[in-house]
Amino acid sequence: MKYIATFYSHFGAIRFKREAPEGGVTNIELRPVPRDLSSSCGTSASFDAGESFTFTEDPTDEIEQIVAVTEGGYKTIYESPNK
């Protein structure tokens, strides 16, 4: 399944790619944030993970949100409490 993470800073996106969360995250690609998702910075990370992928805590405080890409759009699976 495809997921997209947005970040508060470009550094956060680079760090996410370098220190991928555990749980089967693969094929991380940094790219511009899709128009339908807002972001504090212009960089997002597109990645693959299983349908059971969950994310509950961001120790870096860099991730703004993580969404699953669905046929109908996006489904939020994580949103920063700082948002």
First to last CA, the chain: 25
Query: What average pLDDT score do residues 47-69 get?
Result: 91
- Our measurement of the distance from residue 22's CA atom to the centroid of its chain's CA atoms, rounded to an integer in Å, reads 13
CA-based torsion, 23, 26, 30, 31: positive or negative: negative
With bands split at pLDDT 50, 70 and 90, how would you rate the model's confidence at 77?
very high
Lowest mean pLDDT among 22-26, 60-64, 72-76: 22-26
Cite the DSSP H helix spans in 1-83.
10-18
Q: What percent of the chain has pLDDT above 90?
A: 67
Q: Report residue 59's pLDDT band, with 50, 70 and 90 as the boundaries.
A: confident
Record the pTM.
0.91
